[in-house]
Structure 1
Amino acid sequence: MDEPHAMPTIGVDTRVSSSGWADELRASFALAWPLIVAQLAQNLLFTTDVVLMGWLGPQYLAAGTLAGAFLIPFQLTGVGIVGAVAPLVAQARGRGDTKAVRRIVRQGFWVAIAVATLLIPIVLSIRPIYLALGQDPHTTELAESYMQAGFWMLYPVLGIMVVRSFLSAFAATRVILLVTIIGVIANAALAYALIFGHFGFPRLELRGAAIATGLVNVIMFLALLGYVVTHRKLKRFHILARFHKPDWQRFFEILRVGLPIGLTVAAEVGLFSVAAILMGRLGTNETAAHAVALQLASMAFMVPLGLGMAATVRVGLAYGRGDAEGVRKAAWTAIALGVGFMTLTASLFLIIPNTMVALFLDSQNPDNATALMLAAGYLGIAGLFQLADGAQVVAAHALRGLSDTRIPSFLAILGYWFVGLPTAYVLGFVLNWRGTGIWLGLATGLAFVAVLLLARFAMRQRLGLLKGIAATA
């Protein structure tokens, strides 16, 4: 059952060191592109719900948006924590340690269950928290109905991340893409039926949207898990064997690596949430313009995010097999790809911002003129921080491949909350640059974090981040 030197290869062969930069480029791209498309498709799950909730009416849309704004930061924090499974499995695979792979994945499920259980009481507190913040009581009540119907989706969502991390470490990313696309289609159909009461289903409105999304996540989790336990090369890991047996060393190792990742995600998501609140103080047009520019920037961000996920695996594999040169090539290749793509999107944001924002707001409607003008301006600033955004996310993921998460988490919190947010407030409100100042603050925070994380990876040897390789040597 334990075969430490008989590691199966799925998809791209990532067991051996790349012989050159071109080989690393091909391996990284082959691993990353399904993850990139899967991330884009994953975004469509909530986007589909938003569109359908909008058909119910403005108040339902507002309530659904409030529910999502409350749930998603906690959900992403949990996903960040269990995402530690990816670098740990990759390192174990690099070492050829089958037993460690099985134990890490099994304890990953334990961590997912524990984190979801701890988060559920928090997300169910949505009503008193929103009322204390002065939100409309009726809208808050509707948002609470969504949360009460869908809080349990945290379990399959975090479970999916554990299985995805395992599959990514073995370059089996195409199945992740396929299952995610099927999930988007299934969610659209099921949500439509449950929200509006079609095809013989009851009309459940917002509760229907939550139930549909939860059920689809269960289906996606079971599909990915089924693939793992039946695939001829992956089932040999027996990831569910002796599931009841604790392995506290692995459990706390996942938490040690994963908690800082979760804090990093929470810090970044929180920064943009606070930015939205600050925009709300400026007016409706500023808020609408911010939403449009942020949506376009978020879509572009999915590409370096997918490349970062691939970098975590590639760096982790090289680190596990004691290959310092492989670590260097894997990280800088992914960083170059991420910055290269963001150079393209930055050019589009700077050259044709009006065309891009017109995809979201009707330019023929005179009521949208101010929001369109503001959105185009914000998008131009987003173009300026595209390079920093791409660099920081890939660098952070590359460091995760070395299990280096604690200091990067501190640097992210420092950059986002003690540089970016104060700068946004001073420029936006003290100097009265309004929304432009807020966006410049966001850009400053991202650039600060990018420089520090890139410098930390560049100094990895001096900082002792390759001590595992030195010990192996």
Structure 2
Amino acid sequence: MHSPAPPSITAAAPASVRAELRATLALATPLVAANLLQMGVYSIDVIFVARLGTTELAAATLGVYLYSVLAFAMIGLVSAAAPLIAAELGRRAHAVRQVRRSFRMAMWLAVVAGLATMSVLANGERLLLLTHQDAHVAARAGRFLDILLWATIPAVATGVMRVTASALGRPGWAMLVTGLGLCMGLLGNWLLVFGRAGFPALGLEGSAIASVATSVAMMLAFVLILLLDRKLRRYRLFGHWWRTEWSRLREIFRLGAPIALTMTFEGALFSAAGFLMGLIGVTEVAAHAIALQIAAIAFQVPFGIAQAATIRVGMAYGARDHVWIGRAGRVSLTVGIGFMVFTASLLLIAPRLFVGVYVDPDAPANAALVALALQYLGVAAAFQLFDGAQAVAAGVLRGLQDTRVPMLAALFGYWVIGAGCAVLLGFGAGWQGLGIWWGLAAGLAAVSALLLWRWTARARLGLLPPTLHPN
């Protein structure tokens, strides 16, 4: 007996650019908010542990970094369910069984990917020692990761449920659940790190336990939402969870593996930039961290727009409507790049205001740090445009189920152009930290140019679905 078909979630093409803009903003706004809140969730451990001392702070920083890089990549892997679900909705608005199959296989993949990630994190101390970290810090980070690794499967499963709810027209739940996670993390760290309200003071380990509890709570919240939400429950997403759909699993992996690698290439480039800064000096590292944090916050907006673009273009792809595909892509790119023009202007006009959030810019002791951070933010203002363009361009291409070539473009742009220019300008030309930042800008510019060209050439490259009325 089949489940009843839910109502359409805008499976028909909007009649105008204005209608597409409204649909895109309605989808992107809560996703942007969820991304910003997620940054807070990942930062809570480090913020609380900072009061325990330098060693504990270093251990938490390294542990959270290793965990977040791997977890983020695995979430990218399973996020391939979004364009597949969107395409089914565009192809047939009531595609209940097809949506359920994509969700089920993405959840299976989340468990497998989570177990693989856990096995890597279980060797966290050895990995950190291979990078020549302090032995005591590596040992503490290893014990931290031994607990934190249990958050992996809930986090990746939550990623599947988040993109599914968003594709089915309920993106607001992502914002609310992530807000719940932020509150849970704050409370858990307050109770367990310092031993408040009768709880034991567990220090670093308490922070890891709080993160696991937060991850599990977010997963359970999404399970309840998918079961109880009037619109979502009609899909019976957890029905027949034991049934295999190997062809669908392979399709998700085929699309998702390049997404995961693309995210890894970009994250690794910025991490490598931090290591290069360490070869120059401590002040350069601190200034780099401040400028990069400011840029990362701004990036969450085009990243959320890119997530919405994948769904909007994916629905048009499923409907085989070339006009809609072009309109959805143009709207998303215009909004994403337009916002980054705004943030770039702010960084050029008032950079000291942003630096002042982290350090006192008028304190004599911070003079060198502030001067470097302002230099780096000047470059960040330039690469904001490229960062927004590459993020949204990748999103619209994912809507066309095109991920392998964009991955190769990211590998070339980030690691040949970006890393190469960072080393040449930073050390060969003697520009030091400023040269490294111009290298990052060059890498982002190269990737954005390649992805934008591929989007504009989508018809010639055969990326569009067959249709009776091509654009």
Deviation digits for residues 305-352 of structure 1, max 9, x if unmatched? 000000000001111111111111111101100111100110111121
74, 77, 83: which one aligns with 1:87: 83
Partner of 1:172: 170
Q: Is the 8 A contact 1:14 1:170 kept in 2?
A: no
Aligned residues: 469
User: 1:322 maps to which residue?
Assistant: 320
- Report the residue type matching 1:100 in the other structure: Q
**Is residue 14–residue 314 contact of structure 1 (8 Å, CA) maintained in 2?**
no
CA 1:471–1:21 in structure 2 vs 1: closer, same or farther (change >3 Å)? closer
1:274 partnered with 2:272: yes
- Equivalent position to 1:60, from 26, 31, 56: 56
State the partner residue of 2:12.
Answer: 16
Summarize the alignment of residues 100-249 of structure 1 with structure 2, pairs less than 5 Å apart: 100-249=98-247
Cα shift at 1:261: 0.3
Q: Which amino acid aligns with 1:60?
A: E
Distance 2:138 2:184 in 1: 28
Residues 390-415 of structure 1: per-residue CA shift (max 9 Å, x gap): 01000101100111000000101110
- Cα offsets for 1:199-250 (capped at 9, x unmatched): 1222211111111111111111111121111222221211111211211011
Structure-to-structure mapping, 1:389-428, within 5 angstroms:
389-428=387-426
- Offset of residue 45 of structure 1: 0.8
Q: Distance in 1 between matches of 2:296 and 2:408?
A: 23
Contact 1:292/1:360, CA 8 A, preserved across alignment: yes
CA contact (8 A) 1:8 1:234 kept: no
* Matched residue SS, 2:279: helix
- Stretch deviating more after TM superposition (184-193 or 364-373): 364-373
TM-score scaled by length of structure 2: 0.97
Q: Is the 8 A contact 1:297 1:382 kept in 2?
A: yes
TM-score (norm 1): 0.97
Alignment RMSD: 1.6
Counterpart in the other structure of 1:258: 256
Matched to 2:365, the amino acid is: D
Cα distance in 2 for partners of 1:182, 1:298 equals 22
- Give 1:471 shift: 11
Indicate if the aligned counterparts of 2:3 and 2:234 stay in contact, CA closer than 8 A: no
CA contact (8 A) 1:395 1:457 kept: yes
What secondary structure, in the 3-state scheme, does the structure 2 residue paired with 1:196 have? coil
Give identity over the alignment, percent: 41
**Equivalent of 1:30 in 23, 26, 31:** 26
Q: 1:421 to 1:359 in 2, by over 3 A?
A: same
In structure 1, distance between residues paired with 2:279 and 2:174: 40
Q: For residue 65 of structure 1, what is the amino acid of its counterpart?
A: T
- C-alpha distance in 2, partners of 1:470/1:109? 35
1:48 is aligned to 44
Which amino acid in structure 1 is aligned with residue 30 of structure 2? P
Q: What is the CA–CA distance in structure 2 between the aligned matches of 1:424 and 1:238, rounded to whole Å?
A: 50
After the TM superposition, which residues 356-371 of structure 1 pair with which residues of structure 2 at under 5 Å, given as runs? 356-371=354-369
Distance in structure 2 (CA, Å) of the matches to 1:218 and 1:203: 21
The answer to which of 160-169 and 461-470 deviates more is 461-470
Question: For the residues of structure 2 that align with 1:311 and 1:204, how far apart are their CA atoms?
Answer: 43
Deviation of residue 470 (structure 1)?
A: 6.4
C-alpha deviation, 1:7, in angstroms: 4.0
| Secondary structure, counterpart of 1:244 in structure 2 | coil
SS at match of 1:46: helix
Q: What SS does the corresponding residue of 1:160 show, helix, strand or coil?
A: helix
